[in-house]
Structure 1
Amino acid sequence: MRKKLRVAAYAVCVRDGQILLARSPAPDGPPEWVLPGGGMEHGEDPYDTVLREVTEETGYRIEVTGLLGMHSVRHTLGREGLRRATDHHGVRIVYEGRVVGGDLRNEVGGSTDLAAWQHLDAVPGLNRVPLVDVALGLWRERPVAGRFTDVRE
């Protein structure tokens, strides 16, 4: 089985009771709301990754105001026989951020198609990836170990 490691950095930006999210089109279903952020490029520091990714996906420039924690997830993708199976291990670094400049806009030609502020109380009703719940758990609970596990995955 092929092994793949992906390290990514994301930002939780909350202001006036709303969280900044981006929408990711899904190939076989409705779009999902995601945190702004994404994969590190080779040689890139995670701090620089989150600054770059938030700007790419939302148009905003942010200031990182804290490290909320990390989340690790593993999935087996594909199946032996049909295509080579992959043991995918994702390590997600979650920062807290504050918008300091730029203008809200949608990403063009990227992994997301819409950026928007969503009310925190509306998040449970959104079609979203599990990382949104993980990140909000880290943001709310501020666990000393930087790990929050009480979410759907």
Structure 2
Amino acid sequence: MSVVIVAGGRRWPLRHGQDPVDLLAEQGLTGQPVRSVLGADGCVEVHYAVEALDEAVPGPELGMAGRGATVLRRVAAYALVLDGAQLLVSRLAAWVGGGAGGLWTLPGGGVDPYEEPRDAVVREVHEETGQHVEVGDLVQVQSTHHVDADEDFHAVRLVYLAHCPQPQAARVVEIDGSTGAAAWVSLDRLSDLPQTAMIGTALPHLPAEVGRAGAADRDRET
């Protein structure tokens, strides 16, 4: 599924491995994501509120896959879900490849063809953690690109804030999926977990008052 950046009535396709920040900079723009929708053409549209940069900057050079390499694109949607100062996380099953097996990450997963990304968040969070959530703002677009002789893989990850009206003990609902466990983890204990880079990259997008609440909890413990 392809991703298109939309701003000021204009559209730009997100290239393999390209960060949306770099794409906007090529157009002399900077901005923040405000929403994502599934376009009529089947592309995920990520809409940005933008303003002009002082000058445009060139985009990064992209790596080249080997001849005959499998080209894979994946658009996925994830959630930052809080209950007080506890973050909802899921652990990847041991069999997951790429060195990620057994690591903790944000709940979420692939957007099905023609599925609204917010609906994917609701579905995936329930499958992986047993929680029913209400999806809020799109706060981050992560883009990663892996190239070797056999594979050209581009992953675009949409990260949303989400609210869980009735938090329950986290449990994996899906059967034979890629999730091995789920848990609510205190923010000040996250660093103790073996985790993917996604968590650390997304945490700065938590509301500021959450950080203050977590600091207050740590002060009470000491």
Report the TM range for the smaller structure's normalisation: 0.7 to 0.9
| Separation of aligned partners in 2, 1:137 and 1:102 | 23
Alpha-carbon contact 2:103-2:196 (below 8 Å) kept: yes
Give the structure 1 partner of residue 88 of structure 2: 20
TM-score by length of 2: 0.56
Alpha-carbon contact 1:61-1:101 (below 8 Å) kept: yes
Percent of pairs with identical residues: 38
Alpha-carbon contact 2:85-2:187 (below 8 Å) kept: yes
Q: Pick from 104, 107, 121 the counterpart of residue 50 of structure 1.
A: 121
- SS at the partner of 1:13? strand
Give the structure 2 partner of residue 144 of structure 1: none
Give the structure 2 partner of residue 92 of structure 1: 157
| Separation of aligned partners in 2, 1:5 and 1:48 | 20
Alpha-carbon contact 1:60-1:100 (below 8 Å) kept: no
Q: Which ranges in structure 2 are unaligned for 5 or more consecutive residues?
A: 1-68, 209-222
| Separation of aligned partners in 2, 1:100 and 1:110 | 25
| Separation of aligned partners in 2, 1:140 and 1:61 | 20
Instruction: Tell me the alpha carbon deviations over residues 49-82 of structure 1, each in whole angstroms, 9 at most, x when there is no partner.
Output: 1010001111111011221121100112xx53xx
- Residue 140 of structure 1 and its aligned partner are, at CA, apart by 5.4
- Compare 55-64 and 26-35 and name the one that shifted more: 26-35
Letter in 2 for 1:89: H
Letter in 1 for 2:135: V
- Residue 100 of structure 1 and its aligned partner are, at CA, apart by 2.3
Q: Pick from 15, 39, 53 the counterpart of residue 110 of structure 2.
A: 39
Give the structure 2 partner of residue 6 of structure 1: 74
- SS at the partner of 1:49? helix
- SS at the partner of 1:31? coil
Give the structure 1 partner of residue 43 of structure 2: none
**Aligned alpha-carbon RMSD (Å):** 2.0
**For the pair shown, which has the larger CA radius of gyration, 1 or 2?**
2
| Separation of aligned partners in 2, 1:102 and 1:48 | 19
Number of residue-to-residue matches in the alignment: 135
| Separation of aligned partners in 2, 1:140 and 1:96 | 9
Q: Write 1 or 2 for the structure with the bigger share of strand.
A: 1
Letter in 2 for 1:41: D
- Higher relative contact order by CA 8 Å / sep ≥ 6: 1 or 2? 1
Alpha-carbon contact 1:69-1:94 (below 8 Å) kept: yes
